[in-house]
Amino acid sequence: MKEHFFLRYIRNKFIAGLVTFVPFVITFWVLKGVFNFVDGLLGPEVSRFIGRQIPGVGIVATIVLVFILGVLTTNFIGRSLLHLGERIIAKIPFIKTLYDSVKQLITAIAVSRRKEFQNVVLIEYPRRGAYVIGFSTKECTGELQQETEQTVVSIFVPSTPNPTTGMLVFVPKEDVIKLAMSVEEAMKVIISGGIVIPPTQLRRNPNYLPDEKS
């Protein structure tokens, strides 16, 4: 009995250590790989130009390049060239899938930082008893408010797994359930299709009972 308890104790502590250790190692490995990759894009050329090698100079050069691309692609000519390039990519099956996936991910991250999203909410949709996560933007005004009997709020309901698309729903204010989770946390739930639930939400909800099989 004592031996069984000892083995279970060793196993539990080992698993706890593994859960703590592995994320740190993988995060460090990924960051190191990204640093070396990005630094290697322009680093050798910049170092050759200035006559000496400076670690990290490639990252600075890449950031500057990305900023310049952002400036160029936000004007009419730049947008036209970008759309032309995307049309060319759309004709290449595998490359199109890869490009679209990466673009959706980056856009989703950008969307999650938008200040227009005031709160994460739950609303009953598309029927009573069924709920979806949405982002409240503002209380309606003007004709939209005048034509309704109640005070309504505009709610953006994102799609899964691509939250950059979705629908706009006008919901009575009293039917909107405000959540404590942040926009970033809600995005994790939406993109993962409900598989990923932020740990902070598990702590905030004392009534949450995980499935015994998990």
Helices (H), 51-156: 57-72, 76-89, 93-112, 142-146
Closest CA to 121 of 134, 138, 140: 134
Separation between Cα atoms, residue 134 and residue 169, nearest integer Å: 9
Per-residue b/e over 63-101, b at no fewer than 16 CB within 10 Å? Answer: eeeeeeeeeeeeeeeeeeeeeeeeeeeeeeeeeeeeeee
Mean pLDDT, range 30-39, rounded to an integer = 77
Query: Would you list the DSSP string of 32-62?
Result: HHHHHHHHHHHHHHHHHHHTS--TTHHHHHH
Average pLDDT over residues 1-19: 72
Q: Which residue reads 């698993």 in tokens?
A: 15
In the chain, where the domains are located? 73-112, 119-204
Reply yes or no on whether the pLDDT at 80 is more than 70: yes
Chain center to CA of 22: 22
- Residue 197: pLDDT above 80? no
Give per-residue pLDDT as tens, 60-69: 777 887 788 7
pLDDT recorded at residue 57 = 76
Q: Which of 74-78, 89-93, 126-130 has the lowest mean pLDDT?
A: 74-78
Strand order in the sheet with 131-139: 166-172, 152-158, 131-139, 119-124, 177-178
How big is the CA angle at 33 (ends 32 and 36), to the nearest 5 degrees?
Answer: 85
Residues 119-204, CATH architecture: Roll (2.30)
pLDDT > 90: percent of the chain: 1
- The backbone region for 177, taken as left when phi is positive above 0, alpha when psi lies in -120 to 50, beta otherwise, is beta
Beta carbons of 188 and 199 less than 8 angstroms apart: no
Q: Give the count of beta carbons closer than 10 Å to the beta carbon of residue 46.
A: 18
User: How many whole angstroms separate alpha carbon 114 and alpha carbon 132?
Assistant: 20
Q: What is the pLDDT of residue 6?
A: 72
